[in-house]
Structure 1
Amino acid sequence: MKTADLVDAHDGQVRFCHLPFRMFGRRRSFWGPIATVKCFEDNALLKSMLQEPGDGRVMVVDGGASTRLALLGDQIAAILQSSGWSGIVINGAIRDSAEIDVMDVGVFCLGTSPKKSTKDGVGRRDVPVSFGEVEFRPGDHAYCDSDGVLVSAEKLV
């Protein structure tokens, strides 16, 4: 799967998330149905969702574009890996980036921060989230590789 090829074949069906993502993890491309979390500088809800079976889905996190506190670290990335998630797209920051970069995970984020998030459980799950000029709806499909992030209402791969 290459996002460039998907644009060539399905340009009218895909939406491009226009953000300067950084990639971490050994999984350099991933795709699947979307699950969503909306949280700001608090990762408790994200962690609990990632403990559920991923079944090849892509977790999309709207962290409000904050790079002040990290929403994902190596311990939660290990949960992502072991629970069968295809990958994660975070409109926010991660930490433990060197450790995550050698794990068999796919992570797109805006940047890194050494500071961990709060753990109050504030946020919402399974709701449409918007960033990078794209709305991500639960059940839509995300396609991610080194060229960027695409979203489609229908499965293309």
Structure 2
Amino acid sequence: MTTATADLYDERGDELDSLALQLHDLGGRVAFDGPIRTVRCHRDNALVKSVLAAPGDGAVLVIDGGGSLASALVGDLIAASAVRNGWAGIIVHGAIRDRAALAELPLGVKALGSNPRKSAKDGLGEVDVPVTIAGVVFAPGRHVWADADGVLVER
């Protein structure tokens, strides 16, 4: 990502939504962007694991975990798989785990927080559906930009 989100908003604000939700930068890359892919799941990361195990082609996976911090939806093994498969980043409306390991990976990771508790592996949820987080719609195929200032989404 070459343009800071603040500068991008100054240039294209009427074309963008800004996520007001405050997320932590937990990956080895703070600034990242790419086309949106989505997973909606609650305390079950089987779909997250399978999506990130497929070629990412520079995409950003937005995971709507309903804001739950009760268990982690992404850990070091899943994040390492995302790196191997060419994903630019992951935005989690929920928790991650293995913070120290994620901070070492060349991957953007933003999340509400962390919890060492692992999630279920039942495969419940939906893939590539529009998800709304804090009033902002993340639709598959649209573009998302993230850096230390926050997250912008193409309308």
Band of TM-score, shorter chain: over 0.9
Q: In the TM superposition, what whole-angstrom CA distance separates every residue of 1:41-93 from its partner, at most 9, and x where no partner exists? A: 00001100011100001100000000110000000010111100010100000
Structure 2 gap ranges (5+): none
The one-letter amino acid of 1:81's match is: V
Give the equivalent residue in structure 2 for 1:99. 101
Equivalenced residue count is 153
Q: In the TM superposition, what whole-angstrom CA distance separates every residue of 1:83-130 from its partner, at most 9, and x where no partner exists? A: 000101000000000111111111000000010000000000010000
What is the DSSP-based 3-state SS (H/G/I as helix, E as strand, rest coil) of the residue aligned with 1:54?
A: coil
CA distance in 2, matches of 1:59, 1:88: 5
What is the DSSP-based 3-state SS (H/G/I as helix, E as strand, rest coil) of the residue aligned with 1:66?
A: coil
1:77-88 aligned at under 5 Å gives the runs 77-88=79-90
CA distance in 2, matches of 1:30, 1:132: 20
Give the equivalent residue in structure 2 for 1:65. 67
CA distance in 2, matches of 1:133, 1:2: 22
Q: Scaled by the length of structure 1, what TM-score is found?
A: 0.96
Give the equivalent residue in structure 2 for 1:34. 36
CA distance in 2, matches of 1:132, 1:6: 21
**Greater than 4 Å deviation, 4+ residue runs:** none
Q: Scaled by the length of structure 2, what TM-score is found?
A: 0.97
CA RMSD of aligned residues (A): 0.7
Is 1:111 the counterpart of 2:113 in the alignment? yes
2:124 is aligned, of 116, 122, 136, to: 122
Identity %: 49
Structure 1 gap ranges (5+): none
